[in-house]
Chain A
Amino acid sequence: MRRIVKLLVGISIVLFALMAGATEPKQGLTVVADRPEAREFSLKDMDGKGWRLSELRGKVVLINFWASWCPPCRRELPSLERLWRLLGSENFVVLAINAGEDADMVFAFTGMLEPAPTFPILLDRDSSVLGNWPVKGLPTTFVVDKKGRIVYRAVGGREFDAPELVGQLRSLLRKEH
């Protein structure tokens, strides 16, 4: 009898632990353990200005891959603008890389956002940059440190101005390298 009671209690504890493993959706970024070198790219923004990743060495760069027809991308862009307004003056760059759409389409879409994006939106018309980065779905976001290494990743939408996420970026900005 005692053995059966112990067994039932044990199984209950294991099941409870498994259930407790299911947590609320988190808003933070995932640490990329091996810190791979970020792949170089060169793209133009909506104003025709060229951006090359290697020229941003020494800054923390947040790279967000998105499209106007992607619902979670649409939801997270205003929070990315709020983050940009919060940290934009601190050696921090946001680059939002659009997947395959033309400037007219992107301009019409971003004009409807509140707040409208003021960070650079780069046009990856043939999605070659997207294909060259470890992206499987949209949105996906990476943070590149001052040495040009990918240090954080987020798959799926986030609230970019959530305290947990802002804290991670502030901590990275404080580091020398």
Chain B
Amino acid sequence: MRYFRKRTRHFWTALVCFAAVAGASAAETRHAKDAETGIESWETQELGVNLSLTQMLPDQARAFYLARGFDREAAEAYASACVFQTVMRNESSAPITFHLGDWRMLRGKRAFKLKTEPEWQHEWERHQLAGPARIAFRWAQFPLEQDFEPGDWNQGMTTYPLPRGACFDLKFKWRMGGKMREGILKGVCCAQDR
């Protein structure tokens, strides 16, 4: 009887340890709202890879690109999109690679691709935007693909083909140790026009 009780105690101890570790490792989306500006941000970490999205207001996007040589029409086209300042950090101890083409925006049961920098560049060609404006645009966007060694990170803008105020989950993927990994940012919402 005593032997049975001892084994049962071991089982529960192991179960509690497992639940504690599993609970701590479950990636949660942390949400914050700036009290002054009302700008919202979302952040999560999965397997040592950290991703955060911070809303970019239409005024911010418009001002940024007007100051870099965009004409009003082109600046307005970008400002009307759903834009986030995006930061990805490799805080794990292994190298990773990612490609934005693998990332999906989830709305209900449907999955959509992000609007990437080369797609925007086709529009800027039609607008006949000058070289310096397009150079600034290229380097201000989050890279289409990149390799991160441990400690590497990057920051840039990502855009989503959604109206202002719309919400979605973002499934982001990366390759680590030969395997495709993924995480989810939940309940991300595009900034409203103010």
Contact = CB atoms under 8 A, between A and B. Distances in A.
A associates with B = yes
Interface of A: 1-2, 4-5, 8-9, 11-12, 15-16, 18-19, 21-28, 30, 67, 69-72, 99-102, 125-127, 130, 136-138, 153-157
B149 interface: yes
16 contacts: A1-B8, A4-B11, A8-B14, A8-B15, A11-B18, A12-B14, A16-B21, A22-B47, A23-B91, A25-B91, A30-B149, A67-B136, A67-B139, A70-B139, A70-B140, A137-B143
Contacts of B143: 136-137
B22 interface: yes
A25 B151 CA distance: 5
Contact of A126 (B45, B68, B135): B135
Contact of A136 (B18, B21, B45, B146): B146
B68 to A, nearest CB: 7
A36 B140 CA distance: 27
B48 interface: yes
Given A21-B47, A101-B132, 14 more contacts: A2-B7, A5-B11, A11-B18, A15-B21, A21-B92, A22-B92, A23-B48, A23-B93, A30-B149, A100-B131, A100-B135, A126-B131, A127-B135, A155-B146
Nearest to A6: B14
A155 B136 contact: no
B182 interface: no
Contacts of A8: 14-15, 17-18
A19 to B, nearest CB: 5
Contact of A69 (B91, B136, B152, B154): B136
Contacts of B186: none
Contact of B153 (A2, A18, A25, A126): A25
Contact of A12 (B10, B18, B148, B151): B18
A136 B135 CA distance: 13
B94 interface: yes
A2 B8 CA distance: 10
B151 A28 contact: yes
B148 to A, nearest CB: 6
A30 B152 contact: yes
Given A11-B18, A26-B150, A18 B91 contact: no
B139 A138 contact: yes
B14 A9 contact: yes
Contacts of A157: 153
Contacts of A27: 151
10 smallest beta-carbon distances between A and B, as pairs: A22-B48, A100-B135, A156-B153, A26-B151, A155-B152, A30-B149, A8-B14, A136-B143, A8-B18, A137-B154
Contact of B149 (A11, A25, A67, A153): A153
A155 B145 contact: no
B88 to A, nearest CB: 9
A1 B155 contact: no
Interface string B117-155: 000000000000001100110111011111111111111
Nearest to B137: A100
Contacts of B146: 136-137, 155
